[in-house]
Amino acid sequence: DVKVTQSSRYLVKRTGEKVFLECVQDMDHENMFWYRQDPGLGLRLIYFSYDVKMKEKGDIPEGYSVSREKKERFSLILESASTNQTSMYLCASSFTGGRSTDTQYFGPGTRLTVL
Amino acid sequence: DAKTTQPTSMDCAEGRAANLPCNHSTISGNEYVYWYRQIHSQGPQYIIHGLKNNETNEMASLIITEDRKSSTLILPHATLRDTAVYYCIVRFGSGTYKYIFGTGTRLKVLA
């Protein structure tokens, strides 16, 4: 089974802090994604990566950055956390190619609260 | 870009089949239909996907109409643990990897 893990289920940070969210997948997937989920807004893509050291902006990249130094790990960084970044953060990964193209597998989520 | 329409909520008796409809009338020929579900406070869980033919796996069956403008996810014997929000998603065109999750259908399985 595909397994996507996230470093924390719950996180509380203060405004202005630098926040690191870590995601690890164990299926050798090329693609990794960071979304945030807010009530009434559904899932919104922040960033994705299709290879090591490669990244692409999603729909809402402002205030975030990402790092992918190893294939299995994709980090989301909040440079200076703000209260409007309080949200559920979801990591996903997918394999490229074949019939399962674009089937994304999600981690359990990190619920971040910024005070 | 194909968009999906789903009922906001549905109830189903435990042990009965749950049939969740999805409309995707603007789907293009090479776009897949995917279904995910999200149990409260957890990440979305992949269920099944298909292109043209009906599909079945250990979790569910997917029925796609011949014109591909709609589909139905079938949970053959719903249990209380199937209570979740179910999302029908059409792959967002070519050249990108993004999924668009709509508001989904909130399925409540009743004892």
State the distance between the two ends of chain A, measured CA to CA, in whole angstroms: 37
pLDDT tens digits, A56-107: 999 899 999 999 999 999 999 999 999 999 999 999 998 876 545 568 899 9
Residue linked to tokens 């926040």: A19
Paired with B48 in beta bridges are B35
Contact call for B45 and A106, based on CB within 8 A: yes
Amino acid at B75: L
Q: Does A74 touch chain B (CB under 8 A)?
A: no
Which one, of A98, A74, A82, A72, lies nearest residue A19 by Cα?
A: A82
Query: What are the structure tokens assigned to A58, written together?
Result: 């999603």
pLDDT tens digits, A33-52: 999 999 888 889 999 998 89
Q: Looking at beta carbons, which residues of chain A come within 8 Å of B52?
A: none
Distance from CA of residue A1 to its chain's centroid? 20
pLDDT tens digits, B24-79: 998 888 888 999 999 988 899 999 999 888 999 999 999 999 999 999 999 999 99
Residue of A nearest to B40 (CA): A108
Tell me which of A36, A104, A110, A112 to substitute to probe the interface with B (most B C-beta atoms closer than 10 Å): A104
A30, pLDDT greater than 70:
yes
Separation between Cα atoms, residue B51 and residue B101, nearest integer Å: 18
Amino acid at A102: D
